Amino acid sequence: MRYWKKNINDWLLNHWQKHGGIYIYSILVFMILFYIYALSAISINRFNNFGFPDYDIAIADQGLWLLSHGKDLFVTVNGLHMLGDHALYIHILISPIYWFTDNIRVLLLLQTFCFGITGLGLFLIFKERFKDRYLIGSLFVVLSYLMYPATHFSNLENYHVECFAVPLITFGFYFLLIRKHIPYLACMVLTLLCKEEMAFTVFMIGLYSVYFFWKEDKKAIKRVSLPLISFCLIWFLFLFMVSFPFFNKDIPGYEEKKTYHVSKTAGSFGSTPTEQIKNLLNPSFMSKKTFTDQNKQYVHEVFFPVGYIALLSPETMVLSASFFINILSDWYYSHYIRYHYTAPVIPFVYISLIFALSRIDGIISGIRGRIARKAKGFVMYGLFLLIVLFTFEANTEFSHYDTNLKHWDHINFDLTHYNYKNDRYHGVYGLIDQIPRDASVTTTYHFLAHLSHREEIFMFPNPFEVSYYGYEVKERPPEVEIDYLLIEMSVVRDRQHIIDDLVSSGNYSLIDRFECVELYKLE
């Protein structure tokens, strides 16, 4: 019996040494592909069945569609130029996707792919940091990321350009670790193109690269780090001194909009640069600004799913400029993981987690003694398992409804009904299909992204009454003739009189209806 047991153990050991890597990579690929399938199914089903407000995705979609068709890039959904509200230069590279498809769902698929493929980047960082040790543990870390509540919230909250920054930051950091300078710089430059705030994050990564290269490759500081840091500063100045003013020079009320936009982030710091810097350096002010109940909850929801272990690597966590912007911002939504503002923070949580685990492994390795050497594997795999347990606990405690394991029946329905369309979808699309592709439209927010492939699409009550979401600006309504109105009557509330006036004047008539959704046509 002992002979057979030894032979079986030897065979298993030899087999694992020869083929273990194949199993690990197969499991990794399966997890990532399953994530992409599951989250894309949930996301597309929610979109199909009007499960979320379509304002943000409609803004991005109309801008991409206009760009891909060579049209004027004024986005009527939010009343700004495509490059005037945020520095979405990455969309210039993405827009050709609409040469091959006219389906807005491709943006949801692309977003899910970005979040999914980030798991591979984290695996590579783990593999590099641990030098191929504990590869099974790397699967636990990737699983934790794929189940991380903030990942799901960011993936399922409409479509936002920050999704591209998540894999770019992750793979860029990996290329930095393995000293592949060209791919590293390419990822960092592409990250800059995602949004204006990415200039702060890339700047911080550039500073970290100085520290990284300092001991072994000082020449790389001159060739790689300093040029990147300088470019970040130039890019930031270009955006705020050239790009935004240029693309908004003909936008009515832009100065008021800009003031409102800036106040969301820095309004409570003061109205002048001097006052803002003074408050920024005031410990009492910063303490009250930082240690709020909502920030405490935000920090808990960011770090609890990884057992707070990521905080043991502060030198990498501090690189996440978006995290500190969210903490200090006056913008309500930035203090909640359920909005996309946390998306650029996610890579740093898991990079820091990997670095922290590596640090713990190094500490244990430094302890002399036979027991310490034997216990190291148990301790490390115990930590890997603990992280997954924390993540699953967080999933059931505060994850997205559509991915919360408490609602398994709901999740299972999405997984088994990909691209599901309910009766409401068919009823509303019976109205949408009556609207010509070149017609101008005003609609309520649930239908915006279903009609945004056109030059003139407005969110009701625009353009009859100026009311752009996110900007408290009142200006003269634009002189635009609207061909069709698709209105969810249950949400118009105190704007019902607008529709009544349009109909009573004889300008519009009701041509079709489905439940409480009504379609009006210009006479």
Least confident span in 111-115, 222-226, 248-252: 248-252
What's the CA gap between 407 and 163, in Å, rounded?
A: 25
pLDDT at 12: 47
Question: Same domain for 129 and 197?
Answer: yes
Question: Same domain for 404 and 438?
Answer: no
Using the predicted structure, report yes or no on whether residue 258 has a pLDDT greater than 70. Answer: no
Mean of the pLDDT values across residues 333-354? Answer: 95
pLDDT at 78: 85
Using the predicted structure, report yes or no on whether residue 9 has a pLDDT greater than 90. Answer: no
pLDDT at 385: 95
Contact 50, 25 (CB under 8 A): no
Question: Same domain for 317 and 440?
Answer: no
Using the predicted structure, report yes or no on whether residue 37 has a pLDDT greater than 80. Answer: yes
Question: Same domain for 401 and 454?
Answer: no
Q: Is residue 168 part of a domain?
A: yes
Q: Which of 265-279, 466-480, 509-523 has the highest mean pLDDT?
A: 509-523
What's the CA gap between 372 and 358, in Å, rounded?
A: 16
What's the CA gap between 47 and 425, in Å, rounded?
A: 10
Q: Is residue 268 part of a domain?
A: yes
Provide long-range contacts, Cβ within 8 A and 24+ apart, for 174-177.
Answer: 174/121, 174/124, 174/125, 174/128, 176/205, 176/209, 176/212, 177/125, 177/128, 177/129, 177/212
The two structure tokens encoding residue 315: 């030198």
Q: Which of 53, 59, 95, 94 is nearest to 76 (CA)?
A: 59
Q: Is residue 71 part of a domain?
A: no
52 pLDDT band, cuts 50/70/90, is confident
The Cα-based distances of 390 to 31, 177, 306 in angstroms read 19, 28, 6
Q: Which of 504, 449, 459, 514 is nearest to 485 (CA)?
A: 459
Question: Same domain for 401 and 450?
Answer: no
Question: Same domain for 452 and 327?
Answer: no
Task: Name the region of 64 (left: φ>0; alpha: ψ -120 to 50; beta: rest).
Answer: alpha
Question: Same domain for 403 and 436?
Answer: no
167-190: pLDDT as tens digits: 999 999 999 999 999 999 999 999
Neighbour-count burial for 203-236, b at 16+ CB within 10 Å, e otherwise: bbbbbbbbebbeeeeeebbeebbeebbebbeebb
Identify the burial level of 436 via C-beta atoms within 10 angstroms of its C-beta, where 0-12 means exposed, 13-18 middle and 19 or more buried: exposed
pLDDT at 465: 82
Using the predicted structure, report yes or no on whether residue 191 has a pLDDT greater than 50. Answer: yes
Average per-residue pLDDT for the chain:
88
More confident residue, 248 or 192: 192
Using the predicted structure, report yes or no on whether residue 5 has a pLDDT greater than 60. Answer: no
Using the predicted structure, report yes or no on whether residue 462 has a pLDDT greater than 90. Answer: no
Indicate the residue among 342, 377, 409 that finishes a domain. 409
259 pLDDT band, cuts 50/70/90, is low
418 pLDDT band, cuts 50/70/90, is very high
What's the CA gap between 99 and 77, in Å, rounded?
A: 22
Using the predicted structure, report yes or no on whether residue 244 has a pLDDT greater than 90. Answer: no
The Cα-based distances of 235 to 90, 230, 245, 507 in angstroms read 14, 9, 14, 49
Contact 477, 463 (CB under 8 A): yes
Q: Is residue 180 part of a domain?
A: yes
265-324: pLDDT as tens digits: 666 776 677 777 787 788 888 888 888 999 999 999 999 999 999 999 999 999 999 999
Indicate the residue among 346, 379, 409 that finishes a domain. 409
Q: Is residue 422 part of a domain?
A: no
Share of the chain above pLDDT 90, in %: 65
How many separate domains does the chain show? Answer: 2
Question: Same domain for 344 and 446?
Answer: no
Question: Same domain for 351 and 473?
Answer: no
Using the predicted structure, report yes or no on whether residue 11 has a pLDDT greater than 60. Answer: no
How crowded is residue 154: how many other Cβ atoms within 10 Å of its Cβ?
Answer: 28
Question: Same domain for 439 and 331?
Answer: no
Question: Same domain for 130 and 221?
Answer: yes
Question: Same domain for 393 and 466?
Answer: no
Q: Range of 20's domain?
A: 2-51+83-355+387-409
Q: Is residue 74 part of a domain?
A: no
Using the predicted structure, report yes or no on whether residue 387 has a pLDDT greater than 90. Answer: yes
What's the CA gap between 205 and 213, in Å, rounded?
A: 12
What's the CA gap between 301 and 336, in Å, rounded?
A: 8
Q: Which of 22-36, 360-374, 463-477 has the highest mean pLDDT?
A: 22-36
Q: Which of 179, 186, 193 is nearest to 228 (CA)?
A: 186
Q: Is residue 170 part of a domain?
A: yes
Contact 370, 192 (CB under 8 A): no
Q: Is residue 60 part of a domain?
A: no
Mean of the pLDDT values across residues 49-72? Answer: 90
What's the CA gap between 443 and 486, in Å, rounded?
A: 5
